[in-house]
Amino acid sequence: MAARPRPGSDAGIPSAASGAGELFQYLRDGKPRTKAELAELSSLARSTITLRIDALLASGLLAPYGEAASTGGRPPQRFALNGAGHVVLGIDLGASHAAVAAVDLAGKVLEETSVASDIADGPSVVLDRVTDLAHELLQRIGLADDQVVGIGIGVPGPVEHSTGRPANPPIMPGWHEFDIPAHLSRTFPVPVLVDNDVNVMALGEHVTSWSGVDHLLYVKVATGIGAGIITNRRLTRGALGTAGDLGHVRVVDADDSVVCRCGNVGCLEALAAGPAVAARLRAAGLDIDSPQDVVDSVLRGDVAALQAVREAGRSIGSVLATCVSLLNPSVIVIGGSLSLAGEYLIAGVREVVYQRSLPLATSRLRIVAATTGDRAGILGAAALVLDEVLSPEAVDALVDRQRQPARASG
Amino acid sequence: MAARPRPGSDAGIPSAASGAGELFQYLRDGKPRTKAELAELSSLARSTITLRIDALLASGLLAPYGEAASTGGRPPQRFALNGAGHVVLGIDLGASHAAVAAVDLAGKVLEETSVASDIADGPSVVLDRVTDLAHELLQRIGLADDQVVGIGIGVPGPVEHSTGRPANPPIMPGWHEFDIPAHLSRTFPVPVLVDNDVNVMALGEHVTSWSGVDHLLYVKVATGIGAGIITNRRLTRGALGTAGDLGHVRVVDADDSVVCRCGNVGCLEALAAGPAVAARLRAAGLDIDSPQDVVDSVLRGDVAALQAVREAGRSIGSVLATCVSLLNPSVIVIGGSLSLAGEYLIAGVREVVYQRSLPLATSRLRIVAATTGDRAGILGAAALVLDEVLSPEAVDALVDRQRQPARASG
């Protein structure tokens, strides 16, 4: 049981609005609601609701919203999250691109942009580039820097989530242990949360297409293979943040002559990631240079390419069958560049997962293609930081600050 | 994001003690603390702490506890969880035994008992037997029925946790969809939480020996093989409650001539569970009837038995290697009857897990034998219900009830 510390008022009397953050959670979806509806949802007394709503209105997080239908008399007032005025930045850094979005507090993208950007340019260059992009975005939608309340950022490598520092990222030279939050905070002094791209994409798919689902597995099939795991509606990072690292799991009945770059044989990545499929097709005489060529060949209907992608799907499926038995998710989302090859990859995954799992575990399991495409990164990065800045604790702290405007920092 | 409904006061003014349940979480370990220490831990104002402590004292959950050392003047009062007066029952039902424990609110076992009991006697007979055992226990420690505030119960089969009903349990004839909470509530009208034995044992190991660990995998190796998964300090049950069902995962390089009772080949259970090991030794000419005979042979030092158990460990390890890559736990606990064969089983597990995992995922991984033995069930069952009845919401509700003694039910 983790006791949860929370910032409290030190004004001498307990804050009547303490708990406003909890009430606010019912309004995070952006839908307007009356006090009666909130009382129904929260089981709180009407008087308590009134106090908390007043506090949230004063904080600027909530605003009155039109009027509800009424059976007579004065129509009841509705309230909704005040999307205007505050945004978070969702940032997606890839090996060769940088994307930035300004996202309102209800998770709606207001404006976004993406540029070619080599991650190997190093952290200072890349992060300053991103900051410039952010300024441009904000200008376009008429917002000032101080209206940014948080930044979420996904990077293409392992990250120590608690500190926001990459940890020995193989394709990010110069980024090892770089303090990303400190650098971005020089321009935007707000909470900055960093995670690896797969976790961020898992969040992006979850909030966009599967927000009602408690247990979801997102699998990225690209240069490598990795998974983002959502259990009990939360991202699971594991003890050292390596959860979901499926690239070097041994595949059942794998061809042992394929040696992986990790030194083991039979690794999933050495059989089913983009470069492995490309290499196999090249060896068969096809004119294939890159994983993108594989996708193009599949889309052209090249039979050898179709077969190779489907076989990669089977290898991935044999590993996911174990994941299904272990975690019993309701949804597996397949994303990453190789998933652009269409249904062939997923057909291979489905074939083996359904063959190798007990009926109950797959009775309601859906295995689907990612829907957010290359926007999963910015959407997930925004969701990462929204969960932080709109948490009950963070909202309570904001409300408390608004109630004590005369106090200096303390 | 799951908004969390909470029961609230309807007394017309917001409860000053609302939040008492949250403060109480800092005292759940049973250690006495001063108001100053609680202010330090919680970041709450001293005046808020005082109000909440008063509410908790009135509820009977907290009691004054001696005096702390002081640098002079009146020594500060300390407060601690009031273990006396309230207990939960932890119940562990196996195929052939029933165990009951009375556990105080700090998780300490006050009294326990275990009897031979055939689960096939059916739910009414078995649950009435358990109720009788509970009455005996309570009498021995001088408590009345109404001092029981919750019941946790583990059963040897799949359960729909939200309703407490077994779901097609293979070795529990007559229990399918039986409403266990309703039956027990006739005698003890308190919250009754039901889960399968492996989940309950995972909780028991976690609270007893690994309470500081966020990510733990408990693996029971007995007649079947299953896992209880703790991620982010919470039990993960999956979408349909089948999470951890590892018995029918296909083992890498398995002998395909072994057909499992599920109809597939190469299943972990068909290779490494107790009956499979016993059958293999019997086929080799040993006088082995049961898994217990396997354990006895190992403890006698029979080389064929040692080898067979170690080989079973390797098969289990090959499946757990994938689980380690997926979940990155810090601890794997091996329990169940076959684990009583000592280090041979675990040695086989370690051999393959360390061989087949990336260095980072295993750099701090410990693979250990269960320490709670046949008490994991009662300890975990008690922990299951303590988490419920001592949650912030439940404590707030209790405090609110105490503040409105004149109100009728409503």
Q: What are phi and psi of A37, to 5 degrees?
A: -65, -40
User: Touching check for A237 and chain B: CB below 8 Å?
Assistant: yes
Interchain contact B43–A (C-beta under 8 A):
yes
Statement: residue B70 has pLDDT above 80: no
- Report residue A365: phi and psi, to 5°: -80, 130
Q: Which domains does chain B have, with CATH numbers?
A: 20-82 (1.10.10.10), 87-190+376-389 (3.30.420.40), 209-371 (3.30.420.40)
- Identify which of A13, A28, A236 has the shortest CB distance to residue B231: A236
Query: Which of B2, B14, B215 is nearest residue A51 as measured by Cβ atoms?
Result: B14
Q: Who has greater pLDDT, B284 or A18?
A: B284
Burial class (CB in 10 A: 0-12, 13-18, 19+), A74: exposed
Band of the pLDDT at A397, cuts 50, 70, 90?
Answer: confident
- Separation of alpha carbons B170 and A257, rounded Å: 42
- Residue A116: C-alpha distances to residues A96, A379, B192 (Å): 6, 19, 58
Say if A42 is an interface residue toward chain B (CB within 8 Å).
Answer: yes
Q: Do A321 and B249 touch (CB under 8 A)?
A: yes
> Of B203, B271, B322, which to mutate for an interface test with A (greatest number of A Cβ within 10 Å)?
B322
**Contact at CB, A326 and B227, closer than 8 angstroms:** yes
Q: Tell which A residues from 165 to 194 touch B, by Cβ distance under 8 Å.
A: none
Residue B145's alpha-carbon distances to B58, B82, B395, B402, in angstroms, are 21, 18, 20, 20
A159, amino acid identity: V
Q: Which residues does chain A have within 8 Å of residue B18's beta carbon, measured at their own beta carbons?
A: 18-19
Alpha carbons B207 and B107: distance in angstroms, whole number: 9
Q: Which residues, including other chains, have CB under 8 Å from residue B155's CB and lie 6 or more apart?
A: B93, B119, B166, B169, B172, B175, B180, B194, B195, B196, B197
A379 neighbors A109 (Cβ within 8 angstroms): yes
Looking at chain B, which residue has its C-alpha nearest residue A167?
B360
Q: Which of residues 86-125 of A touch B (CB under 8 A)?
A: none
When CB atoms are compared, the residue of B6, B244, B323 closest to A43 is: B6
pLDDT higher than threshold 90 for residue B10 = no
CA pair distance A79, A64, nearest whole angstrom: 4
Q: Which two tokens stand for residue A200?
A: 């961020």
Residue to mutate among A35, A318, A326, A330, with most B CBs inside 10 A, is: A326
Please check the confidence at residue B14 and state whether its pLDDT lies above 50. Answer: no
Assess whether pLDDT exceeds 70 at residue B408. no
If pLDDT is split at 50, 70 and 90, which confidence band does A113 have?
Answer: very high
| Chain B contact for A212 (CB, 8 A cutoff) | no
Would you tell me the crossing angle of helices B343-356 and B303-327 to the nearest 10 degrees?
40
Looking at the predicted structure, is the pLDDT value of residue A222 above 60?
Answer: yes
Q: Which residues contact A240 (CB under 8 A, 6 or more apart)?
A: B328, B330, B360, B361, B363, B364
CA neighbor of B386 nearest in space, from B110, B151, B85, B198:
B151
Confidence of residue A67 (pLDDT cuts 50, 70, 90): low
Task: Enumerate the residues of chain A whose CB falls inside 8 A of the CB of residue B231.
Answer: 231-232, 236, 238
Residue B366's H or E segment, with its range, is strand B366-369
**Partners of residue B322 in chain A, C-beta under 8 Å:** 246, 249-250, 319, 322-323, 326
**ipTM of the predicted structure?**
0.86
Asked if B227 has any chain A CB less than 8 Å from its own CB, the reply is yes
Kindly identify which residue of chain A lies nearest to residue B365, measuring between CA atoms. A239
Asked if the C-beta of A8 comes within 8 angstroms of chain B's C-beta atoms, the answer is: yes
* Cross-chain Cβ contact A325/B249 below 8 Å: yes
| B47 interface with A at CB cutoff 8 Å | yes
Residues of B in contact with A241 (CB under 8 A): 328
Give the integer Cα–Cα distance in Å for A15 and B129. 50
Give the gap in angstroms from C-alpha B328 to the nearest C-alpha of chain A. 5
Residues in chain B with CB shorter than 8 Å from the CB of A206 are: none
- Least confident range from A91-105, A356-370, B111-125, B294-308: namely A356-370
Mutate to test the interface with A, among B323, B327, B357, B384 (most CBs of A within 10 A): B327
List chain B residues with CB under 8 Å of A231: 231-232, 236, 238
pLDDT, tens only, B286-336: 999 988 999 999 999 999 999 999 999 999 999 999 999 999 999 999 999
Residue B186: the pLDDT is 95
User: Average pLDDT of chain B?
Assistant: 88
Q: Which residues pair with A186 in a beta bridge?
A: none
Count Cα neighbours of A383 within 13 Å in the Cβ-side half-sphere: 23
Cβ neighbours of B225 in A, within 8 Å? none
Which chain A positions have a beta carbon within 8 Å of B356's beta carbon?
249-250, 264
Mean pLDDT for all residues in chain A:
88
What is the pLDDT, as a whole number, of residue A12? 34
Chain B residue at shortest CA distance from A387: B1
Q: Could you tell me the pLDDT band of residue B159, with boundaries at 50, 70 and 90?
A: very high
CA distance linking residue B151 with residue B386, whole number of Å: 9
**What confidence category does residue A139 fall into, taking pLDDT thresholds of 50, 70 and 90?**
very high
Structure tokens at B94: 């196996």
Chain segment A344-383, per-residue pLDDT in tens: 999 999 999 999 888 888 889 999 999 998 899 999 999 9
Is some CB atom of chain A closer than 8 A to the CB atom of B339? no
Residues in chain B, how many? Answer: 410
Which residues of B are less than 8 Å from A10 in CB distance? 45
Query: For residue range B357-372, what is the model confidence (pLDDT) as tens digits?
Result: 888 888 899 999 999 9
Could you report the per-residue pLDDT of B19-49, keeping only the tens digit for each? Answer: 788 889 889 888 899 999 998 888 778 888 8
The percentage of residues in chain A with a pLDDT greater than 70, rounded to a whole number, is 92
- What's the residue count for chain A? 410
What is the reported pLDDT for A404? Answer: 59
Pairing of strands A148-155, A192-196: parallel
B5 touches chain A (CB under 8 A): yes
Question: Across residues B252-281, what is the average pLDDT?
Answer: 89
Strands (E), A286-341: 331-335
Closest-CA distance, A305 to chain B, in angstroms, reads 27
Question: pLDDT band at residue B68, thresholds of 50, 70 and 90?
Answer: low
